[in-house]
Structure 1
Amino acid sequence: MSISLQYVHITVNDPDESLGFYRDALGLEVRNDVASGGFRWVTIGSPTQPDLEIVLSEPHAGRSQADGDSLQELLTKGVLTQIMFRTDDLDATFEKVRESGAEVLQEPIDQPWGPRDCAFRDPSGNMIRISQAPKA
Structure 2
Amino acid sequence: MTVQSLHHVSVVVDDLEEATAFFTALGLELEGRAPIEGTWVDRINGLDGIRVDIAMMRTPRGQGRLELTKFHSPAAVGEGSGPAPSNTLGLRSIMFEVDDVDATAETAVAHGGELMGEIVDYEDVYRLCYVRGPEGIIIALSQDLR
Per the TM superposition, whether the score is higher than 0.5 is yes
Larger radius of gyration: 2
Aligned equivalents of 2:10, 2:81: Cα separation in 1: 13
Specify the code of the residue in structure 1 equivalent to 2:58: G
Number of residue pairs matched? 127
Structure 1 segments, 4+ long, off by >3 Å, are 74-77
Superposition RMSD in Å: 2.7
Aligned equivalents of 1:56, 1:12: Cα separation in 2: 7
> Measured at CA, do residues 75 and 23 of structure 1 come closer, stay the same or move farther in structure 2, by a change above 3 Å?
farther
> Measured at CA, do residues 32 and 105 of structure 1 come closer, stay the same or move farther in structure 2, by a change above 3 Å?
same
Matches within 5 A, 1:30-109: 30-37=30-37, 38-48=51-61, 50-58=62-70, 60=71, 68-69=76-77, 72-73=78-79, 76-78=82-84, 79=88, 81=91, 82-109=93-120
Aligned equivalents of 2:34, 2:125: Cα separation in 1: 40
> Measured at CA, do residues 39 and 76 of structure 1 come closer, stay the same or move farther in structure 2, by a change above 3 Å?
farther
Residue deviations 1:11-32 (CA, integer Å, cap 9, x gap): 22211110121112x1111111
Equivalence for 2:29 = 29
Aligned equivalents of 1:114, 1:61: Cα separation in 2: 44
Which runs of no fewer than 5 residues in structure 2 stay unpaired?
A: 38-50
More helix by share: 1
TM-score by length of 1: 0.77
Q: In percent, how many aligned pairs have the same letter?
A: 28
Q: Which of 120, 125, 135 pairs up with 2:131?
A: 120
Which runs of no fewer than 5 residues in structure 1 stay unpaired?
A: none
